[in-house]
Amino acid sequence: MVTDLWVNESLYSDWGQRFRVVRELAHVTSEFQEIVIFESASHGRVLMLDGIVQITERDEFVYQEMISHVPLLMHPKAERVLIIGAGDGGVLRRVLQHHTVKKAVMVEIDGVVVDLARKYLPDIAGDVWNDPRADVIIGDGIDYVLKSEKNSFDVIIVDSTDPIGVGEVLFTDEFYRNCERILSSEGIIVNQCGVPFMQAEELRETSLRRAQFFPHVTAYLAAVPTYVGGFMTLAMAKKGSHPYELNIELLRSRAQDAGLHEVCHYWTPEIHIGAFNLPPYIARHLPLSEG
């Protein structure tokens, strides 16, 4: 077992971060990717896929809350949610914190990630795996979207790796066309688009593709310490009403109705509104700079 070693993230060839490993918990190569989980000296347990940090116990709440609560509270009545990826269960947990959600389907292509997360990262998902509203499917999210009926979901959350390898097919015209089809009249899709200081092309290309199918395309920010390079962007596309037709009091009311009172460590109504105020170096990558 590896002890007291340093692990370097391999996201960028000329810049990165490293963690001191207290002990290695799992190191597996699945059908789809290399999976490593280790106990770090600074961030609790860490999940890496193909050498890239996906989640740490210490700061997972930032990403999980913002990718989940923002779209669910922006939708006037989000009852049916589709999650693609997110094998650690953290997004599923945040989605089902909403008492108003009646069904949450999670489709993760790599069952090994789910198994290892349940064993070594139990606090990320908690007991959400046993929630009767949850339907966890080990399978292809692309195929699931393709076969779903029109207006099947109110919100789609895509928590995938970057558009390389196993995650590449989640950033295509065909995928977004089918997502638009299966979303309800006020439907929303959100997915991570990396850190634009280093990965601006992800936000730009994703936004341009989705602008072909959705009337409203924008993005919002989350400051996740272990996603190095500044603000993380979460790209959003929406049907129906404009995404900015909200105010703090309405968001606060929806959060109370959903049962989120005092459960969040990052999301607030004020953070929600402010997250859509993009600095120019990010906003310029959106169609018409709608953000």
Check pLDDT > 80 for residue 271: yes
For 229-242, the pLDDT digits (tens) are 999 999 999 999 88
For residues 3 and 158, the model is more confident at 158
How far is CA 106 from each of CA 129, 237, 246, 275, 280, rounded to the nearest angstrom?
10, 20, 28, 26, 35
Give the confidence band of 169 by pLDDT, cuts at 50, 70, 90: low
Instruction: Return the pLDDT at 274.
Output: 96
For residues 274 and 289, the model is more confident at 274
Instruction: Return the pLDDT at 162.
Output: 56
Instruction: Return the pLDDT at 287.
Output: 86
**Contact predicate 88/54, CB 8 Å:** yes
Mean pLDDT of 116-139: 97
Q: Closest Cα to residue 157, out of 98, 245, 225, 94? A: 94
Considering the chain, what is the average pLDDT of its residues? 92
For 180-207, the pLDDT digits (tens) are 999 999 999 999 999 999 999 999 999 9
Q: CA–CA separation, 207 vs 236, rounded Å?
A: 8
Every domain of the chain with CATH number 2.30.140.10 lies at: 5-56
For residues 250 and 171, the model is more confident at 250
Q: Which residue is catalytic, options 59, 110, 159, 162?
A: 159
Helices assigned H by DSSP within the chain: 60-74, 90-95, 111-120, 122-125, 141-147, 173-182, 196-210, 248-258, 269-274, 280-283
Helix (H) / strand (E) element for 104: namely: strand 103-108
Every domain of the chain with CATH number 3.40.50.150 lies at: 60-289
Instruction: Return the pLDDT at 165.
Output: 45
Give the confidence band of 80 by pLDDT, cuts at 50, 70, 90: very high
Helix (H) / strand (E) element for 85: namely: strand 80-85
Instruction: Return the pLDDT at 280.
Output: 96
Check pLDDT > 70 for residue 168: no
**Domain spanning 5-56: CATH superfamily:** Spermidine synthase, tetramerisation domain (2.30.140.10)
Q: Is residue 123 among the annotated active site residues?
A: no
Q: CA–CA separation, 165 vs 1, rounded Å?
A: 28
Task: For residue 107, list its beta bridge partners.
Answer: 84, 137
Check pLDDT > 60 for residue 283: yes
For residues 156 and 228, the model is more confident at 156
Query: With 0-12 CB in 10 A as exposed, 13-18 as middle and 19+ as buried, what is 280?
Result: exposed
Mean pLDDT of 258-279: 94
Q: Indicate whether this model's pTM tops 0.85.
A: yes
Give the confidence band of 172 by pLDDT, cuts at 50, 70, 90: confident
Check pLDDT > 60 for residue 221: yes
- What the block records as the tokens of 79 is 């009852």
Mean pLDDT of 151-177: 77
Structural domain 60-289, CATH architecture: 3-Layer(aba) Sandwich (3.40)
Mean pLDDT of 266-272: 96
**Contact predicate 124/55, CB 8 Å:** yes
Q: Closest Cα to residue 25, out of 53, 46, 56? A: 46
**Contact predicate 169/191, CB 8 Å:** no
Give the confidence band of 161 by pLDDT, cuts at 50, 70, 90: low
Helix (H) / strand (E) element for 214: namely: none
